[in-house]
Amino acid sequence: MGVTNGQSVNAAVTNAAFIAKNVDDSTPSLLGLLNTDTSSGPTISNAQKEINNKRYTPSNSTVSASAIIVLTDQVGLQTIRVVSDGGAVSASITLFGTTDTNWPDGREVKVMGTSDTDTVQLTHNDADHGALLNGNAVLGRGKMVVLQWWNSELRWVEVSRNF
């Protein structure tokens, strides 16, 4: 809470209203960057979310036959290491599900296999929430596919693969 008109000015009232610039400090709530200068680009209403969307966060996922691969909503760039729950399986033809509406246009996900025995297949699917792949992709140990969300088409698009 900020200082209001007519309020006494003392350390207890004012210190909590400011972020210190001469020592490490943090903001306890939402911080936005609402610069409307068009040369600065779009405004940012949640700085923490934007920072999280700009870094890769790795996670591990065990995938059952026809199951979805779970994404972390708050992270824009993700690396998901996948392994099947036993033997070769095919993930859902809608890799990351169909109910999420929070994917920003351009979200990038790297999906990497971790086993040559317990592989996970990603299937080409030109339908809403499907993935436009350059052919099906069987992810064994170290094999990776990079996908990007295309919001206007409601599809994931393969950007690259290393096999």
Domain layout of the chain by residue ranges: 49-161
The overall pTM is greater than 0.85: no
Say if CB 104 and CB 73 are below 8 A apart.
Answer: no
Phi-psi group of 41: left, alpha or beta (phi > 0 → left; psi -120 to 50 → alpha; rest → beta): left
Average pLDDT of the residues in 53-82 = 87
d(CA 136, CA 121): 7
pLDDT band at 139 (very low <50, low <70, confident <90, very high): very high
What pLDDT was estimated at residue 74? 67
**pLDDT category of residue 153 using cuts at 50, 70 and 90:** very high
Q: Is the pLDDT of residue 21 over 80?
A: no
Cα–chain-centroid distance for residue 12?
39
Mean of the pLDDT values across residues 41-67? 85
Domain topology for 49-161: Jelly Rolls (2.60.120)
| pLDDT confidence bin for 123, thresholds 50/70/90 | very high
Q: What percent of the chain has pLDDT over 90?
A: 53
Does the pLDDT of residue 6 top 90, yes or no?
no
Burial class (CB in 10 A: 0-12, 13-18, 19+), 135: exposed
Report d(CA 86, CA 81) in Å as an integer.
Answer: 15
Mean pLDDT (the chain, rounded): 88
Q: 52: pLDDT confidence band, cut at 50, 70 and 90?
A: confident
